[in-house]
Amino acid sequence: MKYFIQCFCCLLVAMYSAVPLLKAQAKAEPNILIIYVDDLGYGDLSCYGGDIPTPQIDRIAEQGIRFTEFYVSAPACTPSRFSVLTGAYPQRSRHGLTNALMPVDTNYLDDAEMTLAKYAKAYNYRTGIFGKWHLGFKNKSDSPEQHGFDKFSGLKGGCIDFFTHVYGQMGHDWFVNSVQTRERGYSTELITNHTLSFIDDCRKVNQPFFTFLSYNAPHYGKTDPDSVVAHTVSLSEGEYHGYGIINSLQAPPKYIEKFAEIEDPYRQAYAAMVSCLDDNIGRLLDHLEQSGMMEHTIIWFISDNGGYSIRYFGHADNGGLRGEKGTIYEGGIKVPSLLQWKGYLDAGQVREGPVCNIDVLPTLLNLTGMRLNRNNTPKIDGVDLTNFLLENEQISRPLFWYYNQQMAIRDGKWKLVNGEELFNMDQDPFESKNLASDHPKVKQRLSIKYEQMAEELDIMLR
């Protein structure tokens, strides 16, 4: 008995000392790089079985962890970004960041809402966001700097023409160091350029960085019908508040040529965009390796939501999952995600089990030694995944979704959708067989849990 107690105590010590030991091995505060891509489908990376070669992004999987059941809190850009930066469900946002913001919307991230950038800044990190903001502004003078970021270059809205950087006929949306600027180039490449410059600046002054690399690719662009550049594929054309807009897929010519064998023009253009994105992430990884920064940098790659595998000519691939962007079926909320900390997390791992982008903030705070303040606004819904990453210790808690009158909850292997469809996700990841009539008690239990969470978040259920 004494021997058993001693062994048990040793096991506890080993588990709870894993993070301090991991942190102590690092020579300095680790850099944090979140690569947040836009509308990439679950089946669009080659490391997830996709047919678009993505050797550069696959390097992150090879050197770290690939998640098989990584979820986002909502199947759309704005609420997903709110959650990854705050660790909270979007329903907790003070100003209704629960849907993708449109240009005339007045919702915004409140100054009082604590972001990962604010945490990092308090711990002497230099912070930068490069690419897409899409979290609104209180007024014209508001900027990402008010939310913890030292530097911002990119677009304030949700999407732009990749070459001209306009939102259709509504005007120009491109900023360099927070100043509206006319900068020539393809946005994916420009975003990477600004990120590399920021990382170099941090290295020169020997200061750790937190970079939110928020690519707008491979989300479709917003092209001015009167100024269409070559290699633009139109998904749809119409007007928004009287302004002409083309929803477009665009890539540099060499990438279009690379996929000349794809007959479907929409899939061809999309594959070209993904390939360009992959090459640019490769530029970043190469730079971190060559500058000796790779082993001091935590890299987390995530898609903000699923892709368009049905609408807009089904140009994305969600790996056969049901639904797409905008739905709370798996195709809308289950996304590719990869995590690397070279030398500290073992290479070539796969983690199965439901986790979510609300978990990113508490996990990164713990891995880097930053202290989480549970009294901050908004209340943090995410959990620390450290033991899941290091020991494959499964997370036991329900996950919750509410988007455009769609409702879902996942608890363990069970997922209840709209209070009527019950799926065993272990046996049926494609949500093809409704088991509600076979398991009424499970349905009732999940319904009660959902109602309790909805009441806490002050959601009026239909």
Prior bond to 79 cis, omega within 30? no
Same domain, 368 and 223: yes
Q: Do residues 282 and 357 share a domain?
A: yes
Residue 238 lies in a domain: yes
**Mean pLDDT computed over every residue of the chain:** 94
171: in domain? yes
User: Helix, strand, or coil here: 240?
Assistant: strand
Q: Which tokens hold the place of 266?
A: 């929409």
Q: Which two tokens stand for residue 151?
A: 């530097």
pLDDT tens string 61-72: 999 999 999 999
Q: Is the pLDDT of residue 24 over 60?
A: no
Number of helices and strands in the chain (H, E) = 12, 18
Last residue of a domain, one of 338, 368, 396: 396
Q: What is the CA radius of gyration of the chain?
A: 22
State the pLDDT confidence band at 19, using cuts at 50, 70 and 90. Answer: low
Q: What CATH number is associated with residue 108?
A: 3.40.720.10
Percent of the chain residues topping a pLDDT of 90:
90
Instruction: Tell me the H-state helices in 291-359.
Output: 330-333
Same-domain status, 340 and 417: no
Q: CA 399, CA 25: separation in Å to the nearest integer?
A: 33
pLDDT at 38: 98
Tokens (6 digits) for 54: 């993505």
In a domain, 7, yes or no: no
Say if residue 16's pLDDT is above 80: no
How many Cβ atoms sit within 10 Å of the Cβ of residue 111? 11
Domain count, the chain: 2
Q: Nearest CA to 12 among 396, 391, 395? A: 391
Average pLDDT of span 407-420: 98
Q: Which of 303, 339, 340 is nearest to 318 (CA)?
A: 303
304, 335 Cβ separation under 8 angstroms: yes
Distance between CA 44 and CA 267 in Å, rounded? Answer: 11
Please report whether residue 17 resides in a domain: no
Residue type, 408: A
Res. 25: pLDDT tops 60: no
Tell me: do 379 and 410 sit in the same domain: no
Query: Under a CB-based contact definition with an 8 Å cutoff, are residues 228 and 169 in contact?
Result: no
At 285 the pLDDT is 98
Beta bridge partners of 421: 417
Q: What CATH number is attached to the domain comprising 424?
A: 3.30.1120.10
Answer yes or no: is 12 within a domain.
no
pLDDT band per the 50, 70, 90 thresholds, residue 5: very low
Q: Which of 365, 396, 427 is the last residue of a domain?
A: 396
Question: In whole angstroms, what is the distance from residue 173 CA to residue 154 CA?
Answer: 8
Query: Where does the pLDDT of residue 375 fall: very low under 50, low under 70, confident under 90, or very high at 90 and above?
Result: confident
Residue 144 and residue 285 in one domain: yes
CB 82 within 8 A of CB 90: yes
Return d(Cα 114, Cα 359) in angstroms, integer: 15
Residues 327 and 434 in one domain: no
Q: Which domain holds residue 418?
A: 405-462
CB 213, CB 33: distance < 8 Å: yes
Whether the pLDDT of residue 461 is over 80: the answer is: no
Beta bridge partners, 237, equal 246
Query: What average pLDDT does the segment 50-73 reach?
Result: 98
- Asked if residue 461 and residue 391 are part of one domain, the reply reads no
Express each pLDDT in 149-202 by its tens digit.
Answer: 999 999 999 999 999 999 999 999 999 999 999 999 999 999 999 999 999 999
- Hey, how many other C-beta atoms are within 10 angstroms of the C-beta on 232? 18
Whole-model pTM: value is: 0.94
Confidence class for position 373, pLDDT limits 50, 70, 90: confident
| 417 lies in the same domain as 353 | no
Q: How confident is the model at residue 374 (pLDDT cuts 50, 70, 90)?
A: confident
How many Å apart are CA 101 and CA 110, to the nearest integer? 15
Q: Which of 357, 378, 396 marks a domain boundary?
A: 396
Tens digits of residue pLDDT in 356-372: 999 999 999 999 999 98
Q: Please report the pLDDT score of residue 460 as a whole number.
A: 58
Same domain, 308 and 451: no
Q: How does residue 204 score in pLDDT terms, banded at 50, 70 and 90?
A: very high
Q: What angle do CA 3, 24, 357 make, to 5 degrees?
A: 95
Is the pLDDT at 2 greater than 70? The verdict is no
Q: Which amino acid is at 398?
A: P
Q: Would you say residue 21 lies in a domain?
A: no
Q: Residue 88 — pLDDT band, cuts 50, 70, 90?
A: very high
State the pLDDT confidence band at 216, using cuts at 50, 70 and 90: very high
- Report residue 462's pLDDT band, with 50, 70 and 90 as the boundaries: very low
What does the block give as tokens for 178?
Answer: 């927070």
Q: What is d(CA 31, CA 175) in angstroms, rounded to the nearest whole number? A: 24
pLDDT value of residue 459:
80
Residues 301 and 318 in one domain: yes
Phi and psi at residue 308, in whole multiples of 5°? -85, 90
N-term to C-term CA, the chain: 56
Tens-digit pLDDT profile for residues 231-278:
999 999 999 999 999 999 999 999 999 999 999 999 999 999 999 999
Q: Which residues, in sequence order, are bridge partners of residue 355? A: 70
- Range in 13-17, 91-95, 366-370 with the lowest mean pLDDT: 13-17
